[in-house]
Amino acid sequence: MRYDVKKFLFVGAESDKEAFFKRAQDAGIIHFIDPKRSKTPDVPLSIQNYVRAIKVLRGLPPTEQEETDEYELAEGLVKKIISHKEKLESLEEEERVVKLEISRVEAFGAFSTKELAAIEKETNRKIQFFCTKQGYAEKHPLPEELIYVGSDHGLDYFTAINKEPMQYPRMIELTIDRSWSELKERQKEIAKEHQETFRKLKNYAKYNRFLHHAFVHQLNSYHLDVAKESVEFPLDEKLFVVQGWVPVHKIEVMHLLVKDMNVYVEEIALDKNDVEPTCLENTGASKIGEDLIHIYDTPSNTDKDPSLWVLVFFALFFSMIIGDAGYGLVLLLIALYIRYKHQGLKGAKMRLLNLVTILSFCVIAWGVLMSSFFGLSPAPDSPLRKFSLMEWLVEKKAAYIIKHKDATYQELVKKFPQLQGVTDPKEFVTKAFVEKDGKIHYEVLTKFSDHIMMELALMVGVIHVIISMLRNIKRSPSYIGWILFLIGCYLYLPSYLGAVSITNFVFGINQTEAPSGGLILMLIGVIIASAIALYQHKWLGLLEPSNVIQIFGDVLSYLRLYALGLSGAMFSATLYELAGLTNFVIGAVIILVGHIVNIGLGIMGGVIHGLRLNFLEWYHYSFEGGGKKFNPLRKLEIE
């Protein structure tokens, strides 16, 4: 639920400033305003270091935690953890460089650079090392002082001893600061240092939980200091003055907060540049929906809270896209396993787990209604069909075309003569089949199911958009006309496509009268929308009819629900066909891996498109967005 906020001025004695802000932090109801700050201050390095240290400990093997509340020790621990981590990174980088150096000089073998320097000094000679493309020595004569050493990595290696440094054509001189043997020795030292440093770092893993609590303690202190910076001091700092936003339902709590303090509170008018923050407070399922809406944007301070609507329709869209009871059962088992293994989950993590559980049940329910279990549909005479919404709709459609003997009926009877005289709808859809590769294909059942699923996607889209318009009808009364227009389109479209609609065989709307009624509603809707827009926006209202394109595009976008659901079903069918062409073991592997891939793709599609239809198509008509989140000074706690 969204609550309005009011702007208040707080004036108090400087001696009560500390107590006032501490109480405000404990209450968590005041969003303080700093008129001097135009942007959020940068987080101090000390707090950033806490985050770095916690990330390091999180990557270490879990161990028994040591409990303490001496937070003054935390800063020293953080410095040591970061120091050890930086040393590990430095050693790993040095090890990488040493490996490259070993690869570069190993052709020259083991020697001591100190002994080499001593020989150069005693003999007054210069010893140099060279490399060139492999095979060069075989094609070109070499100077006598150039000695071939060996070949490696596609290169030939040479050494030369001269009175003065020399350069040779097509050869690269190699500078060797450390020989192969010295580098190998350093490599061993690095490994030993790395092991010792990692051992020391592991000893700090027992402070993981402590550092989390210390981090929250530090963060609370930081937020308190930032809030205090918004204070102004008139009258030689004898008084403090600060402004803040308070939700309307928390005003009484705010007055109790300052009741026994020398602090005066007064509601003040808004400045022209003020942006009221959006205060959302939800519990239960609505809180899960609130988590979802913050993925995209924060509602404006005039938007109605869309949290529960987004959750409900996201669950519906997710279910329609995956559309398989077997897949929903897999998701539910995963959710139950996580719930069993991590019983202490709280806060956002628990809400995420609850969301997965809700989606799992919804997918199972939709899969049962659509008669889909791991990509397989029960036989027409299966008891599972009794719970199928799709089965019921198919039979209703069959009964309708049998009764009216329309063009669809004539076409089917011509193709399947055995349907002539059949009056039972279930018998009608099961008698129309063909045998192919030893399998029975119920063509009418499949065709009717596809058409109904497509129409369900459009119906859901129309309903979803209409709900959005109804929620915003006070701000945009022209939506009255567009709602009528959408209803008219839905009534007219089946006639245009030459199809039988759910409105005909379920709701009993006359198939011949519906199109004309739909056209009338479409025309009336556009006229009403345009008239209201002209009254509301003057000459700009002349552009209102152009919204026809936007509305059509938004509704047709819901066909993705049908397309994605169909693609998942086709993927499953292909798996079984491929598995049937191989032996049992390979076929089982194909089916198992294929279903895992299909579940993964279904989850991706369900999340992306399930949220997209809410955030784009639905938000378009009832969501202004761009709001500033209500962020009161509050005391953070470990969930």
Q: 39: helix, coil or strand?
A: coil
The answer to whether the beta carbons of residues 299 and 280 sit under 8 Å apart is: yes
User: Exposed, middle or buried, 1 (CB in 10 Å: 0-12/13-18/19+)?
Assistant: middle
Mean pLDDT computed over 460-480: 95
Strand bridging mode 277-280 / 628-629: parallel
- φ, ψ for residue 134 (rounded to 5)? -60, 135
Confidence of residue 44 (pLDDT cuts 50, 70, 90): confident
Q: Rounded to an integer, what distance in angstroms lies between the CA atom of residue 385 and that of residue 378?
A: 7
**pLDDT tens-place string over residues 621-635:** 999 999 999 999 999
Nearest to 423 by CA among 443, 406, 398, 392: 398
pLDDT range class, residue 247, cuts 50, 70, 90: very high
Give residue-wise pLDDT tens across range 139-181: 778 888 888 888 888 899 999 999 888 998 889 999 888 888 8
Looking at the DSSP bridge assignments, the partners of residue 46 are none
Nearest-angstrom CA–CA distance, 309 and 469: 13
Binned at pLDDT 50, 70 and 90, residue 421 comes out as confident
- Separation between Cα atoms, residue 320 and residue 35, nearest integer Å: 49
- Residue in the block written with tokens 């991590």: 342
Q: CA–CA separation, 149 vs 436, rounded Å?
A: 73
Q: What's the pLDDT score for residue 445?
A: 87
- Mean pLDDT, residues 224-253: 90
Q: pLDDT at position 143, please?
A: 85
Report how far residue 371's alpha carbon sits from residue 386's, in angstroms, rounded to the nearest whole number: 10
Measured CA to CA, the distance from residue 70 to residue 498 in angstroms comes to 77
b/e burial code for range 348-375 (CB count within 10 A of at least 16 → b): eeebebbbbbbbbbbbbbbbbbbbbbbb
Assign 345 a pLDDT band (cuts: 50, 70, 90).
Answer: confident
Q: For 269, which DSSP code?
A: P
pLDDT at 413 over 90: no
- The answer for residues whose C-beta is within 8 angstroms of residue 114's C-beta and 6 or more apart is none
- Counting residues of the chain whose pLDDT is more than 70, the rounded percentage is 99
**Residue 487 parent element (H or E):** helix 479-497
Using 50, 70 and 90 to split pLDDT, how confident is the model at 438?
Answer: low
How confident is the model at residue 619, as a pLDDT? 95
The rounded distance, in Å, linking the Cα atoms of 4 and 617 is: 26
- 473 pLDDT band, cuts 50/70/90, is very high
**pLDDT tens digits for range 495-535:** 888 888 999 989 888 888 888 999 999 999 999 999 999 99
Instruction: Give pLDDT, residue 437.
Output: 65
pTM, two decimal places: 0.85
Answer for the pair 11, 241: CB distance below 8 angstroms, yes or no.
yes
* Selection from 353, 355, 346 nearest residue 637 by Cα: 346
Tokens of 367: 């899969």
pLDDT at 38: 64
Length of the chain: 639
Rounded Cα distance, 497 and 408, in Å: 12
CA distance 268 to 285: 35
- Bridge partners of 2, per DSSP, are 280
Helix (H) or strand (E) holding 21: helix 17-27
Average pLDDT, the chain: 91
